[in-house]
Amino acid sequence: MNLYSSLKRVLIKHVLSFRKRFWEFNLKMNARKYVKEVLRQNKAPKLSSSEIAKVKAYYKSKGYKLENTYWHQYYKGLTNEFHVNYIPEDMFNALIAPRFNQMRQWPALLDKNLSYILFKGFPQPKAIVQNINGFYFVDGKIVDQSVAIDTCNSINTALIIKPTIDSGDGIMVNKFTVENDKTTFENLTVSELFKKYKKDFIVQETVAQSAVLKSLNPTSLNTIRVMTYLKDDNVYVLSSVLRIGQPHSATDNFSGGGIICGIKSNGNLKSRAYTRAGAILNKSHTKVVFEGIAIPNYESVLNMVKRMHPIIPYFKIVSWDIGIDSNNEPVFIEYNTYYQDVDLHQIANGPLFGEFTDDILDLSLRSTDSAYNDL
């Protein structure tokens, strides 16, 4: 090997190492900024010195030096429950997700428009208009913008428009109808609405949801967030929660004021639900008591995500958002592999990984085979 090739290899190794450290640092700092702000807003009590020592000792036993206990403080402050094996979200985002989910696949496969190709054959909201990289599609065929506009104008039922790339937390997810060529969203025309979203977005029919879930909040599609773990022998369900929108909201996102309630293995809701602000509730704002409510067709929901996960084997840990339609059948809404909002699960159901905790932490914290090298 000549000198040039040797120097090139060394340089590439250092560049990749720097990029890895930069990504880890950035992901950790973003998560910590979020949790510190929530702790401040909720005036969460600090952990005792004994609790801090137990948490750090637990992670030391796994071969990891825990830098902070913000997330343990956050979870205990909301639920009044202390567990050493809570998974800090900065750890999940910076260390666990990149080792279990191939980062180089994220930009390509996470365009929500592609879900209609990837998961063809699984029930999804009907796509009215799709914009992919600036191209308009109707019924899977490229059309002029004028055709896309006319298609929306011809629909007399409620529609949803949302970004399909780099979206999350319900940002820019808006419900509208078209009346006399004007939308009910900011009184914009469809053309003006498209201009606002620029490119990479989708317009879908709204899902007429199950009467049971609608009773909890009628203005939002209240979805089931299921986290699954793909192993060689099976797909395992790690946790499930129900997300419920706040009054008059079209979305059910926790960060936007929504409610989360844990789901038991038999499909029944737990007795307590939570808000990001720290409220603990036993009934919805519509006065429906959570305890005893059965998620319609819950077994079908689990079977559905277990069949879908092997379609995207690049991602071993996935969070799925599933709605239930008016016929009590599951409808796939979207999947998440990057920021998976693991706090939802740990607030509602306790430590994230359950019986797989040792397995996942061992692979994440001790392994030198980092998916960051795929950047």
135 and 250 co-located in one domain: no
Q: Is residue 14 over pLDDT 50? A: no
Residue 86 falls inside a structural domain:
yes
81 and 196 co-located in one domain: no
Least confident of 273-277, 285-289, 303-307: 273-277
Q: Is residue 264 over pLDDT 90? A: yes
Rounded CA-CA distance 7/60 in Å is 37
Residue 348 falls inside a structural domain:
no
Domain boundary among 205, 240, 262: 205
Better pLDDT: 104 or 119: 119
pLDDT of res. 105: 83
Q: Which residue segment(s) compose the domain that 33 sits in?
A: 10-104+361-374
Domain boundary among 158, 180, 205: 205
Nearest Cα to Cα of residue 230 among 341, 312, 332, 343: 312
Rounded CA-CA distance 285/258 in Å is 11
Burial of 269 (0-12, 13-18, 19+ CB in 10 A): buried
DSSP state of 358: H
Domain boundary among 205, 231, 254: 205
DSSP state of 315: B
Whichever domain contains 241, its CATH number is: 3.30.470.20
272 and 196 co-located in one domain: no
Residue 194: which residues within 8 A CB-CB, separation 6 or more?
131, 145, 148, 149, 201
CB atoms within 10 A of CB 183: 21
249 and 317 co-located in one domain: yes
Residue 342 falls inside a structural domain:
no
228 and 312 co-located in one domain: yes
169 and 223 co-located in one domain: no
Residue 160 falls inside a structural domain:
yes
Q: Is residue 260 over pLDDT 90? A: yes
Length of the chain: 375
Residue 356 falls inside a structural domain:
no
pTM of the complete model: 0.90
Residue 177 falls inside a structural domain:
yes
Residue 311 falls inside a structural domain:
yes
pLDDT of res. 303: 98
Nearest Cα to Cα of residue 194 among 162, 154, 156, 229: 162
Least confident of 115-119, 286-290, 363-367: 363-367
Burial of 82 (0-12, 13-18, 19+ CB in 10 A): middle
191 and 265 co-located in one domain: no
Partners of 183 in the beta sheet? 178
Query: For residues 291 and 322, is the Cβ–Cβ distance under 8 A?
Result: no
Domains of the chain: total: 3
143 and 238 co-located in one domain: no
236 pLDDT tier (thresholds 50, 70, 90): very high
Structure tokens at 47: 């952990």
Q: What is the pLDDT of residues 293-352, one digit of tens each?
A: 999 999 999 999 999 999 999 999 999 999 999 999 999 999 999 789 999 999 999 999
Q: Is residue 166 over pLDDT 90? A: no
Residue 267's region, left for phi above 0, alpha for psi from -120 to 50, else beta, is: left
223 and 332 co-located in one domain: yes
- The mean per-residue pLDDT over the stretch 25-34 comes to 81
Average pLDDT, the chain: 90
Q: Is residue 373 over pLDDT 60? A: no
Question: What percent of the chain has a predicted confidence (pLDDT) above 90?
Answer: 74
Structure tokens at 344: 């939802």
**Cα distances (Å, whole numbers) of residue 99 to 118, 274, 320:** 23, 30, 19
Q: Is residue 370 over pLDDT 60? A: no
Pairing verdict, β 317-324 and 330-336: antiparallel
Residue 19 falls inside a structural domain:
yes
213 and 332 co-located in one domain: yes
326 and 252 co-located in one domain: yes
151 and 264 co-located in one domain: no
Element at 318 (helix H, strand E): strand 317-324
Structure tokens at 366: 């001790």
Element at 127 (helix H, strand E): strand 127-132
Q: What is the pLDDT of residues 167-190, one digit of tens each?
A: 666 678 999 999 988 999 999 999
Q: What is the pLDDT of residues 352-363, one digit of tens each?
A: 999 999 999 999
Helices and strands in the chain, H and E counts: 13, 15
Q: How many CA atoms lie within 13 A of 17 on its CB side?
A: 7
Nearest Cα to Cα of residue 215 among 274, 284, 302, 160: 284
The amino acid that residue 160 corresponds to is I
Helices 145-153 and 190-197: crossing angle in degrees, nearest 10, is: 120
Q: What is the pLDDT of residues 127-139, one digit of tens each?
A: 999 999 999 999 9
